[in-house]
Structure 1
Amino acid sequence: MATRLEWLADHPQHSDTFAAWIHRQFHYEYAEQPLVDWQREFAEGQHNGDWKCLIALDGEQLLGGAALARADLASRPDLGPWLACVFVSPEARGQGLAERLIEGICAQAKAAGAGKIYLHTQDKHAYYAKRGWTLLEGFTAWEKQQWLMVRNL
């Protein structure tokens, strides 16, 4: 069966799993937030517009996802929307899934009227630069170098 992209809001049974993957992958961002609190916030975010998540499914198996976030960087409340929570499970990598998810989120942001979309990354700025994202600035957060990037839609 071909991998398909669908909105997490239509598959809420996968919300806690994906939220747990994100909590683990980006553990430094969630150091102050217990997993159960994040899972609740993320699940609510599927309906209140805070974390609109697109997921990749193979049958009913969750392979990855990416979110269109209203806010994703406390120090920059002036910016948004954001590409956030990009994650593909290790066994599903190398098939272009992340790129499909990113393009799906960008298309959703554009359809919602956004002219630009932002992201921040610790170590993937070269990956995003190859895909049309421009570096706005470097900054330090979570005791690490981070990169703020933008893409015109």
Structure 2
Amino acid sequence: MPDLHLEPLAEPLWPLLNKFYRQHNSPMKALKGGRMWVARDREIVAGLCLTPVVGGQWLTGVFVDPAYRGQGLAARLILQAAADGEGSVWLLCHPDLEGVYGRMGFTQDTVLPQSLSERLVRYKRNKPMIAMGLPRGV
């Protein structure tokens, strides 16, 4: 894997992450109030968003350029970004992704903050979803 730079993205540069998502036809977006993290190889090749919630952070917007997939980049970016924050990290994903996040230490054995629990109920009305958490200190 090339020598990539993993770093938080300053707020004035958030449009670059949204541009990256659009270039790859991804519906993901940088969420206001969150902390954006990116991996760069000159340009952005991966990104994510961590939004504060009670007791921790909500992980969204994980996307890796297809040319950089299969090299553990998502795991490196997620774990580095999570280590920089406080509390647990939760995500809501399709059940098919359980193994991917499980290898990073996420489990379904987690208690969601109310805001994410309510969101999960809404999401499950339209598609299969599970909640996973990465406990503090992992």
Say whether the fold is shared (TM-score over 0.5).
Answer: yes
Report what 1:145 is aligned to: 128
Q: 1:149 to 1:56 in 2, by over 3 A?
A: same
User: Which segments of structure 1 move beyond 2 Å, counting only runs of 4 or more?
Assistant: 18-22, 136-142
Q: 1:105 to 1:87 in 2, by over 3 A?
A: same
TM-score by length of 1: 0.66
Q: How does 1:75-114 map to 2 (within 5 A)?
A: 80-109=56-85, 113-114=86-87
TM-score by length of 2: 0.73
The one of 42, 47, 67 aligned to 1:65: 47
1:135 counterpart SS class: coil
1:144 counterpart SS class: coil
Unaligned runs of 5+ in 2: 111-119
Unaligned runs of 5+ in 1: 31-37, 72-77
Q: Does 1:118 align with 2:119?
A: no
The residue type paired with residue 126 of structure 2 is: E
In 2, Cα distance between the equivalents of 1:80 and 1:3?
27
The one of 15, 18, 27 aligned to 1:16: 18
In 1, Cα distance between the equivalents of 2:40 and 2:125?
31
Alpha-carbon deviation of 1:66?
1.5
Q: 1:149 to 1:104 in 2, by over 3 A?
A: same
Q: 1:93 to 1:19 in 2, by over 3 A?
A: closer
Q: Deviations over 1:10-34 (max 9, x none)?
A: 7716233135368x43x4xx8xxxx
In 1, Cα distance between the equivalents of 2:17 and 2:104?
27
The residue type paired with residue 101 of structure 1 is: L
8 Å CA contact retained: 1:8, 1:14: no
Q: 1:131 to 1:15 in 2, by over 3 A?
A: closer
In 1, Cα distance between the equivalents of 2:4 and 2:11?
16
Alpha-carbon deviation of 1:127?
1.0
Q: Deviations over 1:76-119 (max 9, x none)?
A: xx66411211110111112211011111121012xxx32x1111
8 Å CA contact retained: 1:54, 1:104: no
1:65 counterpart SS class: strand
Residues paired across the two proteins, number: 123
Aligned-residue identity in percent? 27
Alpha-carbon deviation of 1:54?
0.8
